[in-house]
Amino acid sequence: MKQLQQRHYVFIGLALVVIVTMLLPYRPEIVPSAETRRMHEYIDSLPEGSVLLISFDHEASSLPEIKPLALALLRHAFSKRLKLIGIALLPEGTGVGYGLMREAAREYDMSYGEDFVYLGFRPQYVAAILSMGESIPETFPEDYLGQAYDQLPMLNGIENYDDLACVISVADGSLTTHWVEYGHARYRVKVSAFVAASMVTTYDPYLASGQIYAMVSGLRGAAEYEKLIGIGGSGARGMLAQTSMHLYVILMIIIGNLIYFRQKQRGRG
């Protein structure tokens, strides 16, 4: 058998930390940040029947982080009786978005075509964003399941971004930037975002300038949003594992540096 190397012990340690903390019944006390509260207050302030366009701009790989974020948003929107239009600008987001909308809609007894619709995937995201600013029915003549746009009662009278309250991009990459650059800059549609934690610094300048109205980020953002809507989900469940992993990485950095300085000292000696 191949001998275990230093890095293998690091891997085993991490796996153990994550598994053990996921099994613990303890849930950390989450304090919602101002950013998450801003998004929550905005959705809360929308009158019943307002239309939100939710764009699933992510790939399947980031689902463990994106799913709690998206579900928290969908649950809140459905509980407020808002009308939701789902689309995907990346192919893999298509199946994921459809599944998540159905899951949340079932919990709130929402019916397809009247309370929510899923228009599916449109290739060439820049073209799709620009095209929807001109005409949504011409960009998506059919929904994900092949039903004609004008056969879906909820979509009556929805022509372009002027008929939407907001576009919310659920993203794990830089696609929200295109919503800002083309949707907001050209058509003045309000853009908000639920994004993976790794993208936070990318969107900070847009958030600070108001080009992104509100942003909820990462597993922590999901846990905060779950707390605000009063529904537990996988965000809060995953926070303990995330925290323990962060602590583990910090510990590795400290040990690594101690070894480094020790070796440096010996070298001098």
Residues that bind other proteins (CB under 8 A): 6-7, 10-11, 13-15, 18, 28-30, 59-64, 92, 95-96, 98-99, 102, 123-124, 127, 130-131, 134-135, 138-139, 144-146, 186, 197, 200-202, 204-205, 208, 218, 220, 223, 239-240, 242-243, 245-250, 252-253, 255-257, 260
Which of 50, 181 has the CB closer to other proteins? 181
Distances in Å between the alpha carbon of 48 and those of 19, 43, 79, 222, 253? 42, 10, 10, 23, 50
Indicate the helix (H) or strand (E) that contains 249.
helix 234-268
Say how far apart CA 41 and CA 29 lie, in whole Å. 21
Provide the phi-psi class of 13: left if phi over 0, else alpha when psi is between -120 and 50, else beta.
Answer: alpha
What is the closest distance, in whole angstroms, from the C-beta atom of residue 125 to other proteins in the complex? 11
Say how far apart CA 140 and CA 153 lie, in whole Å. 15
Which of 231, 245 has the CB closer to other proteins? 245
What is the closest distance, in whole angstroms, from the C-beta atom of residue 9 to other proteins in the complex? 9
Instruction: Note the Cα 13 to chain centre separation in Å.
Output: 29
What is the closest distance, in whole angstroms, from the C-beta atom of residue 158 to other proteins in the complex? 17
What is the closest distance, in whole angstroms, from the C-beta atom of residue 249 to other proteins in the complex? 5
Which of 144, 149 has the CB closer to other proteins? 144
Which of 50, 59 has the CB closer to other proteins? 59
Helix or strand or coil: residue 207? helix
Residues whose CB falls within 8 Å of the CB of residue 54, separated by 6 or more in sequence, listed in order: 70, 73, 74, 77, 84, 85, 86, 87, 97, 101, 168, 170
Say how far apart CA 32 and CA 40 lie, in whole Å. 10
What is the closest distance, in whole angstroms, from the C-beta atom of residue 246 to other proteins in the complex? 4
What is the closest distance, in whole angstroms, from the C-beta atom of residue 4 to other proteins in the complex? 13
Which of 29, 48 has the CB closer to other proteins? 29
Which of 85, 105 has the CB closer to other proteins? 105
Which of 188, 260 has the CB closer to other proteins? 260
Please answer whether residues 33 and 264 qualify as being in contact, where contact means their C-beta atoms are separated by less than 8 angstroms: no
What is the closest distance, in whole angstroms, from the C-beta atom of residue 14 to other proteins in the complex? 5
Say how far apart CA 164 and CA 151 lie, in whole Å. 19
Structure tokens at 208: 């600070």
